[in-house]
Amino acid sequence: MAKKMGIYKCEHCGNIVEVFVEGGAPIICCGEKMIFMEEKTADQSVEKHVPFIEKTATGYKVRVGKETQHPMADEHYIQWIELVVDQYVLRKELKPGDLPEAEFTIEEGKDVYAREYCNVHGHWRG
């Protein structure tokens, strides 16, 4: 069964989808179940992926990598950064050469977290 806000990837064609509403069936692509991309929360290597949230005067800034920025090369980069503030879901799509960060203008929330997706290392939450 698909999970609300779950990210699923097709191992064959590379399609990636996010679920808005949970249905009762698995998500199929290229004839097979899409893979659920688990939200990882702890880096175990030197390279940092867990998104880091800072409060700004107008909202929030999310960075991937505190001291060392995550690479943004053609073959390895952060594809998007999402910020969830209460019932709002904000997303910035990134491309190679961009900074691995995103700034969002929104009122301060109670339940705030960020997620990001690395094209090599998958889905992360912080």
Residues that bind Fe ion (CB under 5 A): 118, 120-121
In the complex, least distance from residue 12 CB atom to Fe ion, rounded to whole angstroms: 22
Report the distance separating Cα 96 and Cα 116, nearest Å. Answer: 15
Cβ atoms of residues 109 and 86 within 8 Å: yes
Nearer to Fe ion, 85 or 118 (CB): 118
Q: Which is nearer to Fe ion, 30 or 120 (CB)?
A: 120
DSSP letters, 52-103, are EEEE-SSEEEEEE-SSSPPP-BTTB-EEEEEEEETTEEEEEE--TTS-SEEE
Cβ 72 to Fe ion, closest distance in Å? Answer: 10
> Nearest approach, Cβ of 118 to Fe ion (angstroms)?
4
CB-wise, 29 or 118, nearer to Fe ion? Answer: 118
Nearest approach in angstroms of CB 37 to Fe ion is 13
